[in-house]
Structure 1
């Protein structure tokens, strides 16, 4: 059974992402590990020699009480969606969020992470300078990143962006497995810029390798990579976009500070980021 880590701060963004986590667990026949991490305040105990432990214990207690109050709300959401049979376990951990996520990935043998994000005005901000972006850059398991405006829709079409690297093929095979579990199709996009070095024979080999799979390949000539991906999501009715991260270098190369307003205001589909070494 697949194990899915769901870090939450019980915010609106996290609650929205929880619905995606439940539905994803249903697709992969997995279970959820709910993680709430909090950082204790730093005090110089020479100024609080008597109250030092009381302060820490009160913070821990308040976090525990909130955790205890919020978990039933998440279980109620699961019941409303008839997904209350999905097994859920809970972790309340003090310390740095990224450290605790990585600790849980190791200790709980996590296969996927699902995490919400809010306040991003576009993909460049979404993948940098946020908790989600920081986690994405530093974990070694696939991560489903859910923007706050991405309301859940049944997964019927999964997008996959590629540059036809050899390691992309492994990620594509895993994406096809997910698609079959969801009874979905995969639409694979390559944005061929004026600097692209992929030849037609490589593309043809990929098409032949996957000719018996539920997949369709799209090669679009354009130097506007960001806008082309956005249009692809819109016109091909993509429910989830899968991207190979290559330890974030893909995103660093793809995104530029001069995002168009059109692009920045229309990001509303989850991204499944699959980490690969360069």
Structure 2
């Protein structure tokens, strides 16, 4: 894990992500890239192409660069290689473009979640990154004084398309020497017998050099609720799962378990795109 990207809007949620990123970077000798997307009003976007407000745009950019430098000097970041990046772009679009042109091993984002009509209509930049990023995304929902991941809950249906991202789960688990708890959530619409579920997981893990792990079936009315309840029951420090990255009408009608968890979980959530 050489490079960790942490987008910041200078909010307390972003600061909480930076603090976690510092702990991971020190543990693994990683570089942190702090990136701020300077979203400009429409008239200022026009200014970039020739109007008279360019000095004002540059003032905002300079202020953002100064703020990033002040973050870089925080004591908990001492000893970590920090790169500061300011881009004139929309938050999600800019982050996505940066990822496409620069290899990152992990993205860490803070999120306060959303609910009700805001969740349906506007969502959040964190959710959009979770949905589309080819790089694993760690979402921090609350302040974490010590990011000591002793218990990781990985929830899945353990289908064949999960195998590639699952290796990244094992790599993350190895980094923290965590206890890995595999769980299959069975709902009324996706019921499997205990025998069938154990066979699926046994076949799945046979392709990997597995650490010590446990596997359980958890019955619940829906998958999201099942994952959250199981994670609480097992006192998990981290919830890990894979996302299909649905977009458009498919996403609107079927929803995304990963995005729902990003919104509603209080524990950190680590997602891997299939």
Give the TM interval when normalised to the shorter protein. Answer: 0.7 to 0.9
**More displaced, 129-138 or 100-109?**
100-109
Q: Distance in 2 between matches of 1:251 and 1:182?
A: 34
2:173 alignment partner, one of 169, 179, 188: 179
Higher helix content, 1 or 2: 2
Q: 1:196 aligns with which of 169, 190, 207?
A: 190
Aligned-pair Cα RMSD in Å: 3.4
- Is 2:162 aligned against 1:168? yes
Q: Which consecutive unaligned segments of at least 5 residues does structure 2 have?
A: none
1:118 and 2:119 equivalent?
A: no
C-alpha deviation, 1:117, in angstroms? 1.2
Shift of the 107–209 alpha-carbon distance from structure 1 to 2, 3 Å rule, reads: closer
Q: Can you list the C-alpha shifts for 1:128-178, whole angstroms capped at 9, x where unaligned?
A: 711111222222211111124566531111111110111223322221221
The worse-fitting range, judged by mean Cα deviation, of 111-120 and 211-220 is 211-220
The 1-side partners of 2:45 and 2:165 are apart by: 50
Aligned to 2:51: 52
TM-score (norm 2): 0.81
Q: Secondary structure at the match of 2:215?
A: strand
Aligned residues: 262
- Distance in 2, matches of 1:39 and 1:45, equals 9
Distance 1:126 1:90, change over 3 A: farther
Runs of 4+ in 1 over 3 A off after TM superposition: 26-29, 124-128, 148-153, 206-212, 248-251, 253-256, 263-266
Q: 1:252 aligns with which of 233, 255, 262?
A: 255
Query: 1:205 and 1:267, CA in 2 relative to 1: closer, same or farther beyond 3 A?
Result: same
The alignment's TM-score, normalised by the length of structure 1, stands at 0.80
Taking the aligned partners of 2:126 and 2:138, their CA distance within structure 1 comes to 10
Q: Distance in 2 between matches of 1:224 and 1:202?
A: 20
Residue pair 2:113, 2:263 contacting (<8 A) in 1 also: no
* 1:19 positional shift: 1.0
Residue in 2 that maps onto 1:90: 84
1:90-239 aligned at under 5 Å gives the runs: 90-121=84-115, 125=119, 129-148=123-142, 152-196=146-190, 199-200=196-197, 201-206=199-204, 212-239=210-237
Deviations 1:190-239 (A, max 9, x none): 11223326524223323555685132111123333232212211121111
Instruction: Give CA-to-partner distance per residue, 1:78-106, whole Å, 9 cap, x none.
Output: x24xx522211011110122222122213
Match for 1:69 among 67, 70, 78?
67
Q: CA 1:197–1:234 in structure 2 vs 1: closer, same or farther (change >3 Å)?
A: closer
